[in-house]
Amino acid sequence: MATKRVSDDQSSSEMASEKKQKQVRVWVDGCFDMVHFGHANAIRQAKQMGDYLIVGVHSDEEIAKHKGPPVYNEKERYKMVRAIKWVDEVVENAPYVTTLETLEKYNCDFCVHGDDITVTADGTDTYHLVKSAGKYKECKRTAGVSTTDLVGRMLLVTKSHHERDEEKAVDKNQAGDIGSGSTATSPWTGVSQFLPTSRKIIQFSSGKDPKPGDRIVYVAGAFDLFHLGHLDFLEKAKAEGDFVIVGLHTDPVVNRYKGSNYPIMNLHERTLSVLACKYVSEVVIGAPYAVTADLMDHFKVDLVVHGQTPIMPDIDGADPYAEPKRRNKFKLVDSQCGLTTQMIIERIISHRLTYESRNKKKQDKELKILAMLERENSG
């Protein structure tokens, strides 16, 4: 019997070891500039293909060499990608061309990328090596968003991106044609309209309710162009409790208290961006500007948190946080990050010509590749 017990223990150990060896490790890499929900969706899809996801992020130097100057610096991009809830590990300063040596170094079974095209400065497919070796898989690119498009929205200074179609038609050429004088657009980045679906929101949502005894924290805001300032604030909010609910204001409400071109991203785009953050448990889509007694009671809110940004009075002049303050359930926190959405926009505007040129070059490069692919297919 003793012999059999040893044999059983060995068998269990071997099975556990075999299971561990079968872990599928997936590699994803990219610039992840202005880390948006399109990036998060690609990462989400890649994680579904395996068990452990490693994300390689390119350095500022590599991006500038092959693509043009990034909007977010590398330290910002590294930290933003680490906060996406499907990411297990981040590799900094990943090579721009994905090699088999990189996959072997991190023990990855294959590389995943969207079904768009990424090329080096000389026009070479950055994934040609892993494609040739059969170590490449594709995921579906998120239609209607790209970093090029977001930069284009800021350069245009127009509110068309968050007005309803029946009020004003969205100019589908706005992202690709900035300063180009052309009407041709790339099918990958020459888009400016995101069509939201309930399925996409469900895919991004954790779908979990707070557990009994969880301390529920509520925060509200625009969370436009989700950036490091938002991320650091949400990390501080999470430290105040167990379950963080983010109330996202509607586009007209954000425009009332921010004015000008805000929000750059519409409500549904902002919803996905926030849901992708690992510190967020739930999102209230189109939350009321004032944090009311009904809202606090409905979600059983223990604490309402606000950052260091000024608090704009409600439309009737009232303090939107009057109720949580009355209940002694309001707290100001300092994320110790001074970055704001306005500062991101100023980066773009101050280097307008550089980014216009970057957008045009990227668009032209993609159009050439598209024409080549069409010739190959027709042949």
What does each C-alpha distance from 2 to 8, 12, 110, 244 come to in angstroms?
A: 10, 15, 44, 52
Q: What is the pLDDT of residue 188?
A: 39
Above 70 in pLDDT, residue 89? yes
Q: What is the pLDDT of residues 91-149, one digit of tens each?
A: 999 999 999 999 999 999 999 998 777 777 677 788 999 999 999 999 987 766 677 77
One domain, residues 189 and 209 = no
One domain, residues 36 and 109 = yes
- Strand, coil or helix: 56: strand
One domain, residues 218 and 315 = yes
**pLDDT higher at 270 or 352:** 270
Above 60 in pLDDT, residue 184? no
Does residue 6 sit within a domain? no
Does residue 5 sit within a domain? no
Lowest mean pLDDT, pick from 33-37, 228-232, 356-360: 356-360
Q: What is the pLDDT of residues 246-299, one digit of tens each?
A: 999 999 999 999 987 789 889 999 999 999 999 999 999 999 999 999 999 999
One domain, residues 187 and 292 = no
365: CB partners within 8 A, 6+ apart: 119, 123
Does residue 14 sit within a domain? no
pTM of the shown model: 0.78
Above 90 in pLDDT, residue 366? no
User: How far apart are the C-alpha atoms of 356 and 155, rounded to whole Å?
Assistant: 8
- Strand, coil or helix: 23: coil
**pLDDT higher at 295 or 340:** 295
Above 60 in pLDDT, residue 171? no
When pLDDT is averaged across residues 347-356 and rounded to a whole number, the result is 70
User: How far apart are the C-alpha atoms of 115 and 121, rounded to whole Å?
Assistant: 19
**pLDDT higher at 69 or 52:** 52
Above 90 in pLDDT, residue 169? no
One domain, residues 242 and 280 = yes
Q: What is the pLDDT of residue 305?
A: 98
What does each C-alpha distance from 180 to 33, 183, 265, 353, 359 come to in angstroms?
A: 22, 8, 24, 12, 9
Q: What is the pLDDT of residue 378?
A: 73
Lowest mean pLDDT, pick from 10-24, 79-93, 113-127, 364-378: 10-24
When pLDDT is averaged across residues 332-354 and rounded to a whole number, the result is 84
**pLDDT higher at 183 or 345:** 345
pLDDT band at 194 (very low <50, low <70, confident <90, very high): low
**pLDDT higher at 131 or 14:** 131
One domain, residues 61 and 97 = yes
Above 90 in pLDDT, residue 186? no
| % of the chain with per-residue pLDDT over 70 | 75
121: CB partners within 8 A, 6+ apart: 65, 66, 67
When pLDDT is averaged across residues 345-358 and rounded to a whole number, the result is 71
User: How far apart are the C-alpha atoms of 344 and 92, rounded to whole Å?
Assistant: 22
**pLDDT higher at 348 or 34:** 34
Lowest mean pLDDT, pick from 67-81, 156-170, 363-377: 156-170
Above 60 in pLDDT, residue 226? yes
One domain, residues 127 and 177 = no
Q: What is the pLDDT of residue 16?
A: 54
Q: What is the pLDDT of residue 191?
A: 43
Does residue 18 sit within a domain? no
Q: What is the pLDDT of residue 104?
A: 97
Q: What is the pLDDT of residue 190?
A: 43
One domain, residues 81 and 127 = yes
One domain, residues 299 and 245 = yes
User: How far apart are the C-alpha atoms of 184 and 289, rounded to whole Å?
Assistant: 41
One domain, residues 135 and 152 = no
Q: CATH code at 324?
A: 3.40.50.620
User: How far apart are the C-alpha atoms of 175 and 170, rounded to whole Å?
Assistant: 11
Q: What is the pLDDT of residue 69?
A: 81
Does residue 4 sit within a domain? no
* Closest of 26, 174, 156 to residue 91, by C-alpha: 26
Instruction: Look up the domain containing 266 and give its range.
Output: 203-332
Does residue 338 sit within a domain? no
**Backbone dihedral region of 220: left (phi > 0), alpha (psi from -120 to 50 degrees) or beta?**
beta
One domain, residues 209 and 294 = yes
Does residue 177 sit within a domain? yes
Does residue 134 sit within a domain? yes
When pLDDT is averaged across residues 216-224 and rounded to a whole number, the result is 97
Q: How many domains does the chain have?
A: 3
One domain, residues 186 and 261 = no
Mean of all residue pLDDT scores within the chain = 83
